[in-house]
Amino acid sequence: MDIKKFQEIRVETFKYWLKELDRTRVAGELSDNYSESYVCKWQKELTKQGQHCSFLCSIADWLDNFSDLLDDKRYDDLGTDDSEVLFRYYTKIMLIASEILEDFVYVHGKIKDIKKKNLMGKDLEQYGFKEGEFEQLSSFINSVGKHKTEKENYHVHNHHLKHEFEDFGDESHQNQIRLNGTFLEYRG
């Protein structure tokens, strides 16, 4: 099996990202030119009608965060032995994606006059997602990169630490620090 180096994946993904979203980034620049992107084209149409949608401007600018990560060469020599660093890299991508998806859900709900957030997401799912796909993606991002103390999420019971706090509803483990009323109790 031919395993690609992180650098190859990053460079290919960055080229694809810029091409598909009609963005450009000059070497050494810290921001994209997205004046020919879809969001700018949508905004220009609104401007012709005498309207402005700040969400479109914000989303175009916010997407620079992806370009920043994809243009960052510091991780190019990482391999499978660097899984913790790669995990943090992909967590950053997931967090940015999550925030963008949440914004689309909110704007969609406002446009369609849907009051409940879960219904906003289900309704949005009809436009470009398979049934349940949006919720699955959101759940994956939340359980791996965001809500670290809930249910069976990835970060619950981080046993790699020298000392750790007792997890919610988890069994006691050696070297735990437990919140007990008004004081900390160390089990070591």
DSSP string, the chain: --PPPHHHHHHHHHHHHHHHTT-B--TT-SS-B-TTSHHHHHHHHHHHTT---HHHHHHHHHTHHHHHHHH-GGGTT--GGGHHHHHHHHHHHHHHHHHHHHHHHHHHHHHHT--SHHHHHHHHTTTTS-TTHHHHHHHHHIIIII-TTSTT-TTSS-TTSSSEEPPTTPPP-TTEEEEETTEEEEE-
Can you give the residue ranges of every domain in the chain? 1-77, 79-156, 157-188
Q: CA-CA distance, 171 to 169, in Å (whole number)?
A: 7
Tokens representing 2?
A: 């031919």
pLDDT digits (tens, 9 = 90+) for 103-134: 888 888 988 999 998 889 889 888 888 888 88
pLDDT digits (tens, 9 = 90+) for 148-177: 555 565 555 555 555 555 555 555 555 555
pTM of the predicted structure, to 2 decimals: 0.70
CA 123 from chain center: how many Å? Answer: 21
Mean pLDDT of the chain: 80
Whose CA is closest to 157, among 146, 139, 170? 170
Tokens representing 90?
A: 């992909």
What is the average pLDDT across 64-76?
94
Contact 56/42 with Cβ under 8 angstroms?
yes
pLDDT at 183 over 50: no
What is the average pLDDT across 92-96?
91
